Structure 1
């Protein structure tokens, strides 16, 4: 049976035609793609008053975890700043801590936020909870060093795109279940949440066109799960499986109508509401996976970025937070 697909936004559709065809993702293709899955960070920092610090911490398995700490420099740096802890995309199998970093850097510009980006280990070399454990360990370091970093511990936001969005959701679940650290918000940008890969939208975007297809998604999840029994996959790895979504921080979820993750993202927001939580959901008509990261100046991308930032401004406003606590 032919799957009908929501159309791409006209402007984004024209831009997408300029991309080369999406290859079938295999171990061999992955090895070829990895060197090109992130660009240098220096062009992103050019023209910004930013202090950069590179930190190496020890993960739970003894492996080193790299963190990049980016702060407004000099007189531009406030005390008690909000923090955005960033987890990059790349299907769990590629990318690095500089991938999609332009997104949280907008929040450094807008809010004076300290941005910390984590270099988690990648699948298939590392499987199971390894990736989310790395991200959680980095978050603990941020909370433990909040004073040193000039961070307000009441305004720590976890955020990520695609695979990083799924890891963000997993980290928020771990922080809730382990009782630390307290989080002000989670921002899930087209998050990768469900290893079952069996929604209507997943089937609609089998075989392309688009940036991330159902087949690529299946490869990413196989790489992460490794030898895990599908019946025992923990919710922090595949957050759609989490039994309980209560007690999570304020949540922002956005996705495109024309992408693989649409339905699992909508379902996640719905389950947060059902659990009595706070979630804002945006489904951008005609958006394909990662549209606003790939083409940030397209009209739909600009609207998505602006709306996300406006939501975060409301969440981070200390006056609103104090009023809500009364």
Structure 2
């Protein structure tokens, strides 16, 4: 892909974000991240089944709503700490309690490990809603990239399980469809930050087999679900030049076709995950403003 397709303000941050490291080193580096701090938000950790959660509680006024957030990392790596800035900003600005979930990684822990972990984080949130001052009916499930895909699948699972439902889904460039990874012609595109070869590694590890088979287990690849009726309102955003653009657009259209209210926000010239690794740029700040306003309304 040609660099001139990237929004100029994102080109410098993108080059820094594309440093290549072995997966084991990425996993260590993410755990050692120096995270921002805020006097307006208290941050704690808790055990939620097989995984842990980071809990962000505003020290000032709280609105009674909540966000279950799921980090990205291609299903292969990552940590809740990598989204500290987003979680702090959301908790402080909106008065929401944010629970950010960790989960087990492929290929050591294939599906349904990560799915079960984030489902466990949802139930931990419900179990502790009273003490956190959260109305269980006003919790949105959200995530970025692989976390966005896990969030979408969790929303589907909760719909089928019954009981308390999320009031919305907040999806940033979600990784939804293993069939994208099976399209070898996309390898030549060399998408910035996350390309199809990396995508195939992530999906292969998660599914335990080559992506693109005729069928996959329920909730493994949320774009495979044919009946999306009854799911909560959705906010979906993606960059127009990223690998997931087509599958994210298709999922948004499928949700609309099933009668689900959908807000889409497509950022021109934005590679995958720019709202994270280029979060101080005008484009990322503007996107987060728009996304948080949607979230404010969804949890009101």
TM-score by length of 2: 0.92
Asked if residue 177 in structure 1 is aligned to residue 160 in structure 2, the reply is yes
1:139–1:83 distance in 2 versus 1, CA, 3 Å: same
1:147-189 deviation per Cα after TM superposition (whole angstroms, max 9, x unaligned): 1221111210111100000000011001111113311111010
User: How far apart in 1 are the matches of 2:14 and 2:108?
Assistant: 31
Q: Tell me if structure 1 keeps the 8 A contact 2:41–2:88.
A: no
1:225–1:163 distance in 2 versus 1, CA, 3 Å: same
Q: Which moved more, 1:31-40 or 1:214-223?
A: 31-40
1:169–1:206 distance in 2 versus 1, CA, 3 Å: farther
Match of 1:153 in 2: 136
Match of 1:130 in 2: 113
Q: Which has the larger radius of gyration?
A: 1
Match of 1:320 in 2: none
1:39–1:185 distance in 2 versus 1, CA, 3 Å: farther
Alignment of 1:52-63 (within 5 A): 52-58=43-49
Asked if residue 37 in structure 1 is aligned to residue 30 in structure 2, the reply is yes
1:20–1:285 distance in 2 versus 1, CA, 3 Å: closer
Match of 2:196 in 1: 214
Q: Gaps (5+ residues) in structure 2?
A: none
Report SS of the residue matched to 1:301. helix
**Candidates 65, 80, 83, aligned match of 2:51:** 65
Match of 2:81 in 1: 98
User: How far apart in 2 are the matches of 1:98 and 1:220?
Assistant: 20
Asked if residue 143 in structure 1 is aligned to residue 141 in structure 2, the reply is no
User: How far apart in 2 are the matches of 1:285 and 1:123?
Assistant: 31
Q: Tell me if structure 1 keeps the 8 A contact 2:18–2:193.
A: no
1:169-220 deviation per Cα after TM superposition (whole angstroms, max 9, x unaligned): 01100111111331111101000001112598x8556463511111000000
1:13–1:96 distance in 2 versus 1, CA, 3 Å: same
Asked if residue 197 in structure 1 is aligned to residue 188 in structure 2, the reply is no
Q: Tell me if structure 2 keeps the 8 A contact 1:188–1:252.
A: yes
1:194-250 deviation per Cα after TM superposition (whole angstroms, max 9, x unaligned): 1112598x8556463511111000000011011589334124110010111111111
Post-superposition offset of 1:119? 1.4
Report SS of the residue matched to 1:154. helix
Asked if residue 304 in structure 1 is aligned to residue 287 in structure 2, the reply is yes
Number of aligned residue pairs: give it: 299
1:11–1:127 distance in 2 versus 1, CA, 3 Å: same
Match of 1:49 in 2: 40
**Candidates 198, 218, 232, aligned match of 1:249:** 232
1:189–1:203 distance in 2 versus 1, CA, 3 Å: farther
Report SS of the residue matched to 2:25. helix
User: How far apart in 2 are the matches of 1:249 and 1:203?
Assistant: 34
**Candidates 246, 250, 255, aligned match of 1:263:** 246
Report SS of the residue matched to 1:37. helix
User: How far apart in 2 are the matches of 1:295 and 1:13?
Assistant: 9
